[in-house]
Amino acid sequence: MTESITDYKRKSNKILKCALGLTVAGTLIFGLWRGFDNALAFLSAAAVSLLSLWVLARGIDILGQGRSSWLKGFGFVIRFLAYGLALSAILKVYPGYQLEVFFGIFLSILAIGLEALIESYTNART
């Protein structure tokens, strides 16, 4: 069981690093392509997405260690409500930047998919 927890932590750290790299790349791309305000809109939504991914990884680490967690039941509802409010606030501050906010919100999903592709490629070569 300890090996699977260690393997999970290694993979979740890779996903978080990938997400951070995508955040930097996306901010630069939107900044150069569409301007500073667009880059800030993307960065704001990406920060919410990264926070959500990090909290989820941390919660799974806690559950994997057998400790009780505040992420059970009601905690999940509060967490998603808070993220929804944050994204709503971002759309109010940056009302014309739906494309940037969309990509920022789904940054975590893209990072998970990219890490899966990298892992598949690495495993195929060995």
Q: What is the largest CA-CA distance in the chain?
A: 49
In whole angstroms, give the CA distance from residue 80 to residue 74: 10
Q: Is the pLDDT of residue 35 over 80?
A: yes
Under 8 Å between Cβ of 49 and 111: no
Residues 6 or more apart whose CB falls under 8 angstroms from that of 12 comprise 57, 60, 61
**CA-based radius of gyration for the chain:** 16
Can you give the pLDDT at residue 24?
96
Q: How much is the average pLDDT of 56-64?
A: 71
In this predicted model, what pLDDT tens digit does every residue of 62-102 receive, in sequence order? Answer: 666 666 655 565 666 777 788 889 888 988 988 888 889 99
Environment class of 8 (CB within 10 Å of its CB; exposed 0-12, middle 13-18, buried 19+): middle
